[in-house]
């Protein structure tokens, strides 16, 4: 089936396209349709993912897959959370990383625990939706490492692998990331065809 990938982030699009290959879906990028994503006014990752997917599905009349994801830092009470893409009003990845490091200045390594969270929502024009959540635990470093990835990847260190997401090849990150874990749940749900669907109450 045709599915619109409801993101304007090229890095997310590439990761989602790679992860969805086993399903054989015909993926359509959002810019093909000239549709703008709605303002993220939800209070959870699930809210925002569902809102984006449902909006795009209604406007394109095609199934739409949206991702809402972010970094949750324990020492900051869960910040930046759902505001990860606009943390501190910063407009690019580098400035957001600098701001995060400023917020964590003086916090010892053992208290810099964090997790990446990703929620994938697949919405249909008739209002049916599916959602899948993935998480991965790590630590925020005191300085960035690695040239790959995007967002907070250079600061997010996985102790069991002894490197950051930005130090991983795309194929390795695709096995270990929060988005990869959410995708794995989606693939499992779809292994025998479309799973039972539930209605999300659209306003």
What are the residue numbers of the active site? 68
Specify whether the CB–CB gap between 156 and 114 falls below 8 A.
yes
The annotation status of 135 as a binding-site residue, yes or no, is no
**Integer-rounded Cα radius of gyration of the chain:** 17
Annotated binding residue at 19?
A: no
Is residue 152 marked as binding? yes
Q: Is 92 marked as binding a ligand?
A: no
Instruction: Render the burial of 91-116: b for 16+ CB within 10 Å, e for the rest.
Output: eebeebbeebbebbeebeeeebebbb
Query: Does 8 show up as a binding residue in the annotation?
Result: yes
179 is in an annotated binding site: yes
- Is 59 annotated to bind a ligand? Reply is no
| CA–CA distance, 22 with 53 (Å, rounded to integer) | 21
In angstroms, rounded to a whole number, what is the distance separating the alpha carbons of residues 65 and 98?
31
Q: State the binding site.
A: 7-12, 39, 68-69, 150-153, 173, 178-179
Q: State the binding site for substrate.
A: 7-12, 69, 150-153, 173, 178-179
Q: State the binding site for Mg(2+).
A: 39, 68
């Amino acid at each position: 089936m045709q599915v619109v990938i409801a993101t304007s982030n090229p890095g997310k699009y590439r990761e989602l396209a790679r992860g969805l290959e086993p399903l054989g879906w015909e993926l359509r990028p959002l810019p093909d349709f000239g549709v703008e994503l709605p303002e993220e006014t939800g209070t959870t990752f699930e809210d925002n993912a569902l809102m984006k997917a449902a909006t795009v599905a209604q406007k394109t009349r095609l199934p739409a897959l949206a991702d809402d994801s972010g970094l949750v830092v324990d020492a900051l009470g869960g910040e930046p959370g759902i505001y990860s893409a606009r943390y501190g009003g910063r407009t690019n990845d580098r400035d957001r990383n600098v701001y995060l490091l400023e917020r964590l200045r003086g916090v010892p390594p053992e208290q810099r625990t964090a997790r990446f969270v990703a929620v994938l929502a697949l919405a249909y024009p008739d209002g049916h939706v599916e959602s899948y959540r993935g998480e991965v635990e790590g630590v925020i470093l005191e300085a960035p490492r690695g040239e790959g990835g995007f967002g907070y990847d250079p600061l997010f260190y996985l102790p069991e692998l002894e490197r950051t997401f930005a130090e991983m090849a795309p194929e390795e990150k695709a096995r270990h990331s929060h988005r990869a874990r959410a995708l794995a749940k989606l693939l499992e749900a779809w292994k025998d065809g479309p799973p039972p669907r539930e209605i999300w109450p659209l306003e």
